Amino acid sequence: MEIKNYLDSTYLKTPVQAGLSPDENKAVVQSFIQEAIDEKFKLIMIRPDYVSLAKEMISAAGSKVLVGTVIGFPEGTYTTQEKLNEAHKAIEDGVDELDFVCNYKAFQNKEIELVKTEIVQCTQLGLSNHKVVKWIIEVAALNDQEIVQLSALIKNTVIAHFKEEYYQDVFVKSSTGFYQTEAGKPNGATFPSIIMMLENSSPLPVKAAGGVRSYDEAVAMINLGVKRIGTSSAKAIAKGESTNNNY
């Protein structure tokens, strides 16, 4: 198994969240991009503001690293049009993959048609521009029944509106890594949540994000059937090490 083919190296903190100045945070982003190039990771996942920078660095290096970004991040409550606008800009900047935060709060409020509409319109935008699309459901904010139902809703909506050849390019993804949990509960992927996602989103692929902190955990997730792993500790995992990072 070539673990690096599964790793989406991730840095999504704003300057405020990182406790850094804008220039300092940009330097951290650049270091993550360079590391992804050097280590030949599958993808570098960054905020939309840095997509152009990543594409420039990767092109200059002659690298094949893909660039992904997050849309409607992290709360997911942006309107469908706001998500489309943000995704349009990222596409113009050269992004390869779009990770949309599903409006899981609308789902919890039984606004199912709203959720279906954003899934169809945003997925259509991505696929029509030859981009991989991922839908983040934020498992830490959902109970088991909601994880099952939202995974199935995304799957059924995609199957109803897109051809089978596109299923491999529409993922269901576990987490943003930014959801605030109580009492130290996990805010990212767990084995029970990933199993529920795999069982209810197939044939769509699954990405485990947040909470995968060691090579052994990553391999176990892949053996379950996960196709991608989002982590801020890609290098440590690739080297067979463990990490205490929270994403």
Q: Which residue has the tokens 């090579």?
A: 215
Confirm if 53 and 34 have CB atoms less than 8 A apart: no
> What is the DSSP secondary structure assignment for residue 56, as one 8-state letter?
H
Which active-site residues does the annotation give?
Answer: 99, 173, 207
- How many CA atoms, within 13 angstroms, populate the side-chain half-sphere of residue 18? 15
Q: Closest Cα partner for 36 from 5, 15, 14?
A: 5
| Phi, psi at 49, each rounded to 5° | -60, -20
Distance separating alpha carbons of residues 203 and 206, to the nearest angstrom? 9
